[in-house]
Amino acid sequence: MSKVVGIDLGTTNSLVAYMEDGQPQVIPGLSGTSAVPSIVSFDPDGSPDQVVVGEAAKKHLISGSDRTIYSVKRLMGKGIEEVQADLKYLPFQLSGKAQEIIRVHVGEKHYTPPEISAIILSELKQRAEAHLKAPVEQAVITVPAYFNDSQRQATKDAGKIAGLEVLRIVNEPTAASLAYGLQKKKEGRIVVYDLGGGTFDVSILKIRKGIFEVLATNGDTHLGGDDIDQCLMLFLLREIQQQHGRNLMDHPEALQELRLLSEKVKRQLSSEDSAAISLTLAEQKIDYHREITREEFEGLIHNLVERTLTPCRQALEDANLKPEEIDEVILVGGSTRIPLIKNKVSDLFKQTPHSELNPDDVVALGAAIQADILAGSITDMLLLDVTPLSLGMETMGGVVNRFIPRNTTIPTSAKEAFTTFEDGQQSVSIHVVQGERELVKDCRSLAQFNLCGIDPLPAGMPRIEVIFLIDANGILNVSAKDLRSGKAQSIEVKPTYGLSDEETEKMISSSIEHAREDMEERMLIESRNEADTVLRHAAKGLRHGTTLLDPAERKLIEQSMSDLKKAIEGSDHSLIREKLSSLDGATQKLAELLMDQSVQVALKDKKLSDS
């Protein structure tokens, strides 16, 4: 049976984990590091064939800043109008119409955020397959708890495009609580404060006899380490402008360098009281040096940290709890290493927060546990999560009729009855929104549902019951029934931000095509490498064993070698394989002779490792 893995698809880093002997494990890469930087770098022409991911892509952040995509999670399920504030700092180009999916431009091509996330997911999938030595086709993927329906759907689409069946979308703080619960075996009320690279979540849970019940969740899907970096970057940008009279805003590469520098300084200030900053840009004639203290840095980020506390207070209120009633606070996400954040959290909840679990791994570990629950291996743990945002629909005058309030345990559903207003009307349109505000314009549009093919009847006669169901992934499913006939009513769905089913299908098939091309490419490289090694060994063998062979045998080996050399120059890996095996056959006798003589074991070594 193929393994179900757990994936933490992060803004900055992504990880894949699985369960082994009842314990979750993060799968390391070849270099031994477990995190894959969530960065994708394309060729200058933007073609998907030469894409690199992770550490390899990180190298291109500055030199290839216009084709190296980072923090794509912040674009998932969003429209261009929602990311305006970020646009001026991003070195790559985005486009899109209002209320439609964003396109990322790379050279001649453009990609949607789910396609770019899919590239990261494929990398994790391959990593897991290499480690587990088995195909990986199913996964649990985590998302911020405060992700809305479109963002969740976009994540699910990304999984599909990467060739993964997404068994479940799990909220990051709740996943963390599973890992925590498995390790600590404690019961009570816990708060998970999760500040990642791009998003902030807070969840309050009650753990009782293996049931992890989320009481309330809140957050900000656009607040994280990236914003802290940006905050420091803007400060440095202003200072450089004052001192050198140069605005680096129009220099994407310089800006990128400054952003990376800011990130480094931020990390340093978590453990040290001050950090040296120096930036030399020969091209811009900038030579900038300064020292920054932790205190100065904290002054800069103070407002950002405060912004995380409002959702915490709201979650407490929604859970109907006081800070004193919380038994433990758990910190998740790399940004919680910042001392100011630890202090603020401990002030608010009146206790020292826990951070003994590695805040970088814990979400992926939790995803692996959930994967094991779904696979049926763990039966004593159960997660009862909630929907983070209220769901409603547009009514007269642009007012929202809310039918599922936030913090409702999922799965949940609501029924609404619809009819027609005109004689013979055959379709009714329902606009579904998510959010806490009273007016449609202040909420987020999810989709337009069109009840169509209604029997033409006098106004008010048709009776259609629509069921809005939020599944365990936090994703909305809508179905409708004609109450008169009892038949299912057909619905056309137009998602506001996101991909239609046909678009996703197209991407899946093209990604499979690419996967095939990728595979061909890899097999060619591997066969060439092997041919090189075998040729080297054969040449060596010939030199040492030249007196042992008769001329005909010698001739045959030389011929086989030159055939293989010719094959390497082409791009047909099966031809290379074929020539490889004829050379193998031709050198068999030589190898035996050499072995008998114990003169040289080079060939033998090669043979053994080959078999």
**Where along the sequence are the contacts to another protein (CB under 8 A)?**
167-168, 208-209, 211, 213, 310, 314, 373-376, 379, 382-384, 408-413, 436, 438, 469, 471-472
Find out whether 420 and 462 touch, Cβ atoms under 8 Å.
Answer: yes
List 171's β-bridge partners, or say none: 143
Q: How far is the CB of 570 from another protein (least distance, A)?
A: 47
Identify which of residues 404 and 594 has a Cβ nearer to another protein in the complex: 404
Report the distance separating Cα 611 and Cα 567, nearest Å: 22
Nearest to 179 by CA among 377, 357, 375, 372: 357
Active-site amino acid positions: 8, 73, 172, 194
Biggest distance spanned by C-alpha atoms of the chain:
103
Q: How far is the CB of 207 from another protein (least distance, A)?
A: 11
Identify which of residues 393 and 454 has a Cβ nearer to another protein in the complex: 393
The three-state secondary structure class of 245 is coil
Q: How far is the CB of 155 from another protein (least distance, A)?
A: 18
* Neighbour-count burial of 396, counting CB atoms closer than 10 A to its CB (0-12 exposed, 13-18 middle, 19+ buried): exposed
Report the distance separating Cα 572 and Cα 576, nearest Å: 7
Identify which of residues 373 and 440 has a Cβ nearer to another protein in the complex: 373
Identify which of residues 472 and 595 has a Cβ nearer to another protein in the complex: 472
Q: How far is the CB of 315 from another protein (least distance, A)?
A: 11
Report the distance separating Cα 414 and Cα 421, nearest Å: 22
- Helices first, then strands: H and E counts in the chain: 15, 29
The residues, ordered by sequence, that sit 6+ positions from 239 with a Cβ below 8 Å of its Cβ are: 288, 290
Identify which of residues 28 and 411 has a Cβ nearer to another protein in the complex: 411
* Neighbour-count burial of 256, counting CB atoms closer than 10 A to its CB (0-12 exposed, 13-18 middle, 19+ buried): buried
- Residue 50 is classified by DSSP as G
Identify which of residues 402 and 537 has a Cβ nearer to another protein in the complex: 402
The residues, ordered by sequence, that sit 6+ positions from 79 with a Cβ below 8 Å of its Cβ are: 96, 97, 98, 99, 100, 101, 102, 496, 497
Indicate the pairing of strand 188-195 with strand 328-332. parallel
Identify which of residues 28 and 405 has a Cβ nearer to another protein in the complex: 405
Identify which of residues 14 and 434 has a Cβ nearer to another protein in the complex: 434
List 184's β-bridge partners, or say none: none
Q: How far is the CB of 321 from another protein (least distance, A)?
A: 14
Report the distance separating Cα 211 and Cα 123, nearest Å: 33
The three-state secondary structure class of 216 is strand
Q: How far is the CB of 208 from another protein (least distance, A)?
A: 7
Nearest to 382 by CA among 172, 211, 168, 182: 211
Q: How far is the CB of 310 from another protein (least distance, A)?
A: 8
List 13's β-bridge partners, or say none: 37
Assigned token pair, 315: 């979650």
How far apart, in Å, are the Cα atoms of 286 and each of 263, 292, 408, 595? 20, 18, 55, 66
Q: How far is the CB of 169 from another protein (least distance, A)?
A: 13
